[in-house]
Chain A
Amino acid sequence: NAGVTQTPKFQVLKTGQSMTLQCAQDMNHNSMYWYRQDPGMGLRLIYYSASEGTTDKGEVPNGYNVSRLNKREFSLRLESAAPSQTSVYFCASSEGGQAFYGYTFGSGTRLTVV
């Protein structure tokens, strides 16, 4: 039982390059989330998908786009990477889009933009 799988685990980009972070869950969860984690700032929500076919902005959506490809997969795209997007990115899923379901997190993608 893999849970939430993120790829890649590490990535170095040059400023202006684009890339897509992949996330897949095998728990039949309805809701999925993308967070970024920076030192001293906790986890900040970038985008989320309450259910298949829906996406919505979080606290820090600028510079990112998302696609909920199907129930299992939720990808995050950086169209033109900037050094300010250097961070650790976590994907998470929950059984439903209500506040009483806990999250299962993936192992993270450590992204460096130079």
Chain B
Amino acid sequence: QQPVQSPQAVILREGEDAVINCSSSKALYSVHWYRQKHGEAPVFLMILLKGGEQKGHEKISASFNEKKQQSSLYLTASQLSYSGTYFCGTSLSSNTGKLIFGQGTTLQVKP
């Protein structure tokens, strides 16, 4: 079952913060986050595992709430380069590498 991402789109000014959510109706083992710029391939950002810690580096971080089966991606002090579409990919089991992706959240950062 496809995870649901919210919001569908967000527009920010440089320096503002954003949160993107990814929710599943099923128990998750892992959540992956990817960013795709227009006309390009998705690029891996990070993985969160069941029972694992919040991940992140510098201004992009993520958390995984196992009780809610929800992951959140935090973008702090947004830069123009953060613009793109963000996808979460979810896995229900540790034994498979196949991911089911959400529909995507489009982020536009303006000067």
Does A44 sit within 8 A of B, measured CB to CB? yes
Q: In the assembly, what is the distance between CA of A99 and CA of B43, in Å?
A: 17
Q: Which of A90, A100, A102 contacts B41 (CB 8 A)?
A: A90
Are the C-beta atoms of B42 and A90 separated by less than 8 Å? Answer: yes
Give the contact-size bracket for chain B. 20 to 34
Per the bound structure, the CA–CA distance linking A105 and B87 in Å amounts to: 13
Known contacts A42-B2, A42-B87, A43-B42: A101-B100 contact under CB 8 Å: no
How far apart sit A70 and B75, CA to CA, in the bound complex (Å)?
Answer: 40
* CB within 8 Å of B: which A40-79 residues: 40-45, 48, 50, 56, 58-59
- Count how many chain A residues have C-beta atoms less than 8 Å from C-beta atoms of the other chain: 29
List residues of chain A with CB within 8 A of the CB of B97: 31, 33, 48, 50, 94, 96-99, 101
What chain B residues lie within 8 Å of A35 (beta carbons)? 101
> Which of B13-21, B27-35, B64-72, B76-84 is found at the contact surface with chain A?
B27-35
Interface of A is mostly: loop
Does chain A have a CB within 8 A of B93? yes
| CB nearest to B90 among chain A residues | A99
B95–A107 contact, CB under 8 A? Answer: no
Q: Which residues of B contact A (CB under 8 A)?
A: 2, 29-30, 32, 34, 40-44, 46-47, 49, 87, 89, 91, 93-104
- 13 contacting pairs across A/B (C-beta < 8 A): A33-B98, A40-B103, A42-B2, A44-B101, A99-B93, A99-B95, A102-B32, A102-B46, A103-B42, A103-B44, A103-B99, A105-B43, A107-B40
Contacts A90-B42, A101-B47 aside, 16 further interface pairs with beta carbons under 8 A come to A33-B97, A40-B103, A41-B103, A42-B101, A45-B99, A50-B96, A97-B96, A98-B96, A99-B95, A99-B96, A100-B30, A100-B49, A102-B44, A103-B89, A104-B44, A107-B41
